[in-house]
């Protein structure tokens, strides 16, 4: 029997007046993709001249991210992110990416993470000590500062306390301007000294000043602190024994510096929000923390007993995955789900949508940590849950992030309940990560 020929185009939403679906996608990315799923497991869209395909079935996700990953590279968003991140682990491709990943991987070995865990708890306790009963805090800002200090200490042996506000403002600027980088012809717009370009360049200069300062200080001291920065400076290529230039080290440091705190901070913010709206789940969380910890700070050895704490964090990342969509650009023609995907097409697999699909999840819009009693690994293997991506590009810091999220939640929730202020609006700001659109002002209540 001859194979059925692939249909040229899958179904699509009605296009905007100009630019294909660009305006609809830009206005509400998660809403746009949620409407796409109603069209089928694969749907077509167009962002200006860029043809795109959104996929919503785990078999298709596995095909793109695992089975035929060699036919794809990172999508336009991360291609454009190179103007900030250079050729770091998140943006590089091919053999160079594999080389860098091999050199960085030892920094995320479980023994290293065990060492990092002490700093995670230490900084969480410091944050807790700054809160008072009845305080109103922007928890978005609080979690960003907390995870920034942790990544500075654990990966670079650096105290970024003094730089936290400056880095926070720069990070906010970068995320706010990321849509600008995705505009058609932004490669040319970026060369013009218009206000968005100037703001972006100032934010990049802030990051460069801090990162190059750490590199210069470490090179001058010659000290091996057994952290990621020392590993990068001392690492040699297996083939030719070459070392990294300052620029290459900078790209990797900045990538991990930003990715290592932005994603976990967002996961923590949405976790606090969900707990505030589901007090019966919060009570269950507190009961586990009281039973396992008995009032003492947690350690990494407690994590196997903090099963419900882990489930709360996992369920938060199901509903509000920090990395809300994965983009891939086809570098050759591909047959996918009965359709032809031409070379140059963008393929999007949205964690935000698939994590909420009623075909794969019971009562998908509800916060139910108990659904993870069967285990997180099983859902990941089915490709219905992939907050850290999949395949050769799976997040290198996944183990670090799980440990950090569980320990921060355990440390802070032992002592505090957080409640939204009455006028706090809730909305999504899907940029590089899934940020809360209006911040997250909450009242601290001591337990």
Q: Buried b / exposed e across 48-82, counting CB within 10 Å, b at 16+?
A: eebbbbbbbbbebbbbbbeebbebbbbbbbbbbbb
Q: How far apart are CA 278 and CA 349, in angstroms?
A: 29
The helix/strand/coil state of 12 is: strand
CA dihedral 352, 354, 359, 362 (to 10 degrees): -40
Asked if 262 and 322 count as a contact pair (C-beta separation under 8 A), the reply is: yes
Positive or negative CA dihedral for 318, 285, 447, 366?
Answer: positive
Q: How far apart are CA 189 and CA 62, in angstroms?
A: 36
- For residue 177, the model assigns a pLDDT of 61
Please indicate, yes or no, if residue 355 is contained in any of the structural domains. yes
- For residue 285, the model assigns a pLDDT of 98
Q: Mind giving me the DSSP string for 196-251?
A: HHHHHHHHHHHHHHHHHHHHHHHHHH----SSHHHHHHH---TTT-----HHHHHH
Distances (CA, A) of 215 to 157, 221, 225, 247: 12, 10, 13, 10
Q: Which residues of the chain have pLDDT under 50?
A: 1, 3
pTM (predicted TM-score): 0.90
Give me 248's structure tokens: 């290459």
Asked if 77 and 353 count as a contact pair (C-beta separation under 8 A), the reply is: no
The helix/strand/coil state of 390 is: coil
Residues forming beta bridges with residue 349, ordered by sequence position: 55, 326
Please indicate, yes or no, if residue 12 is contained in any of the structural domains. no
Give me 228's structure tokens: 């990621």
Query: Tokens 């060492």 map to which residue?
Result: 115
Please indicate, yes or no, if residue 441 is contained in any of the structural domains. yes
- For residue 64, the model assigns a pLDDT of 97
Give the chain's count of helices (H) and strands (E): 18, 12
Residue 27 class from Cβ within 10 Å (0-12 exposed, 13-18 middle, 19+ buried)? Answer: exposed
Please indicate, yes or no, if residue 97 is contained in any of the structural domains. yes
Q: Mind giving me the DSSP string for 23-36?
A: HHHHH-HHHHHHHH
Q: How far apart are CA 78 and CA 386, in angstroms?
A: 18
Distances (CA, A) of 191 to 149, 185, 195: 33, 11, 11
Q: What beta strand segments (E) does 97-200 contain? A: 136-138
Angle at the Cα of 96 from the Cα atoms of 54 and 402, rounded to 5 degrees: 60
Query: Tokens 């970024």 map to which residue?
Result: 160
Please indicate, yes or no, if residue 5 is contained in any of the structural domains. no
Residue 343 class from Cβ within 10 Å (0-12 exposed, 13-18 middle, 19+ buried)? Answer: exposed
Please indicate, yes or no, if residue 14 is contained in any of the structural domains. no
Total structural domains within the chain: 1
Q: Which pairing describes strands 434-436 and 428-430: parallel, antiparallel, or unpaired?
A: antiparallel
Please indicate, yes or no, if residue 3 is contained in any of the structural domains. no
The helix/strand/coil state of 176 is: helix
Residue 353: phi and psi, rounded to 5, are -80, -50
Distances (CA, A) of 424 to 30, 172, 438, 439, 445: 21, 19, 8, 8, 17
357 is in which domain, residue-wise?
22-446
Asked if 384 and 357 count as a contact pair (C-beta separation under 8 A), the reply is: yes
Asked if 414 and 447 count as a contact pair (C-beta separation under 8 A), the reply is: yes
What distance, in Å, lies between the first and last C-alpha atoms of the chain? 69
- For residue 1, the model assigns a pLDDT of 43
Radius of gyration of the chain (CA): 22
- For residue 178, the model assigns a pLDDT of 64
How many CB atoms neighbour CB 422 within 10 A? 7
Task: Say how many residues make up the chain.
Answer: 447
Q: How far apart are CA 344 and CA 328, in angstroms?
A: 10
CATH code of the domain covering residue 166? 1.10.630.10
Please indicate, yes or no, if residue 150 is contained in any of the structural domains. yes
């Amino acid at each position: 029997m001859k194979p059925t020929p692939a249909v040229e185009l899958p179904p699509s939403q009605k296009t905007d007046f100009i630019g294909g679906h660009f305006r609809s996608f830009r206005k509400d990315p998660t809403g746009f993709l949620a409407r796409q799923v109603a069209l089928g497991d694969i749907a077509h869209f167009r962002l200006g001249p860029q043809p795109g395909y959104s996929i919503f079935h785990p078999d298709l996700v596995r095909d793109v991210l695992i089975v035929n990953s060699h036919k794809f590279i990172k999508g336009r968003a991360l291609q454009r992110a190179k103007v900030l991140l250079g050729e770091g682990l998140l943006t590089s491709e091919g053999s160079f990416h594999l080389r860098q990943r091999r050199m960085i991987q030892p920094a995320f070995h479980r023994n290293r993470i065990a060492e990092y865990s002490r700093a995670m708890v230490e900084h969480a306790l410091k944050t807790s000590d700054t809160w008072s009963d009845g305080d109103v805090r922007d928890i978005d800002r609080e979690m960003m500062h907390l995870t920034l200090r942790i990544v500075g200490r654990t990966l670079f042996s650096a105290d970024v306390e003094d730089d936290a506000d400056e880095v926070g403002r720069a990070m906010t600027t970068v995320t706010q301007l990321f849509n600008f980088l995705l505009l058609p012809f932004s490669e040319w717009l970026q060369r013009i000294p218009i206000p968005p370009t100037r703001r972006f360049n100032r934010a990049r200069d802030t990051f460069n000043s801090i990162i190059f300062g750490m590199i210069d200080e470490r090179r001058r001291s010659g000290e091996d602190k057994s952290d990621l920065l020392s590993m990068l400076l001392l690492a040699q290529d297996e083939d030719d024994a070459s070392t990294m230039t300052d620029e290459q080290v900078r790209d990797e440091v900045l990538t991990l510096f930003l990715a290592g705190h932005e994603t976990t901070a967002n996961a923590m913010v949405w976790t606090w929000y969900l707990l505030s709206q589901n007090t019966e789940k919060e009570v269950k969380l507190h009961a586990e923390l009281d039973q396992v910890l008995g009032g003492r700070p947690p350690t990494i050895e407690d994590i196997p007993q903090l099963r419900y704490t882990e489930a709360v964090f996992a369920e938060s990342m199901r509903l509000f995955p920090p990395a809300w969509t994965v983009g891939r650009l086809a570098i050759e023609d591909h047959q996918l789900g009965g359709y032809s995907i031409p070379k140059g097409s963008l393929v999007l697999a949205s964690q935000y949508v698939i994590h909420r699909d009623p075909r794969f999840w019971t009562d998908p819009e509800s916060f139910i940590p108990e659904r993870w009693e069967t285990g997180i690994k099983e859902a990941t293997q089915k490709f219905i849950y992939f907050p850290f991506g999949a395949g050769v590009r799976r997040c290198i810091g996944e183990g670090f992030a799980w440990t950090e999220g569980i320990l921060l939640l355990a440390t802070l929730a032992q002592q505090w309940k957080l409640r939204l202020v009455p006028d706090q609006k809730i909305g999504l700001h899907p940029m590089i990560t899934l940020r809360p659109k209006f911040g997250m002002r909450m009242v601290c209540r001591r337990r």
